[in-house]
């Protein structure tokens, strides 16, 4: 009885592990397809120089690059982008976005009566 139970348990664990592995593979494939679609859209709406600049931004500030990519893709899908975006136009977009997200830090030093 114990051997049957152990075999069933092992079989159940193997099936569960196989299912988790299959799900992980499907998720990885889905992400790869999504990235491929994003790249295709960006290739169509950006000049090579602008794509290179966006790649450089992604290396330094991935969250800003992701925001710009999503914004550009949404505009392209809505039909609001007519011609490929040049490097200079992308620079303007980057400047606008970074000026909106830039935080001002102020350090105040208060003197205390330490002796």
Mean pLDDT of the chain: 89
CATH superfamily for 2-91 is PDCD5, DNA-binding domain (1.10.8.140)
**Domain residue ranges of the chain, discontinuous segments joined by +:** 2-91
Residues 46-80 as b or e (16 or more Cβ within 10 Å = b): bbeebbebbeebeeebeebbeebbeebbeebeeee
Instruction: Provide mean pLDDT across the span 97-105.
Output: 71
pLDDT at position 88 is 96
pLDDT band at 105 (very low <50, low <70, confident <90, very high): low
Query: Which pTM value belongs to this model?
Result: 0.69
pLDDT at position 102 is 64
Percent of the chain with pLDDT over 90: 71
pLDDT in tens, 43-77: 999 999 999 999 999 999 999 999 999 999 999 99
pLDDT at position 115 is 58
């Amino acid at each position: 009885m114990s051997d049957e139970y152990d075999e069933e348990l092992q079989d159940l664990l193997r099936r569960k592990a196989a299912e988790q592995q299959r799900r992980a593979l499907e998720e990885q494939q889905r992400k790869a397809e999504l990235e491929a679609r994003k790249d295709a859209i960006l290739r169509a709406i950006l000049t090579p120089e602008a794509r290179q600049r966006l790649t450089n931004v992604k290396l330094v500030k991935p969250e800003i690059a992701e925001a710009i990519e999503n914004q550009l893709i949404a505009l392209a899908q809505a039909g609001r982008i007519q011609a490929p975006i040049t490097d200079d136009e992308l620079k303007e977009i980057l400047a606008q976005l970074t000026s909106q997200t830039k935080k001002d830090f102020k350090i105040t030093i208060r003197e205390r009566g330490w002796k």
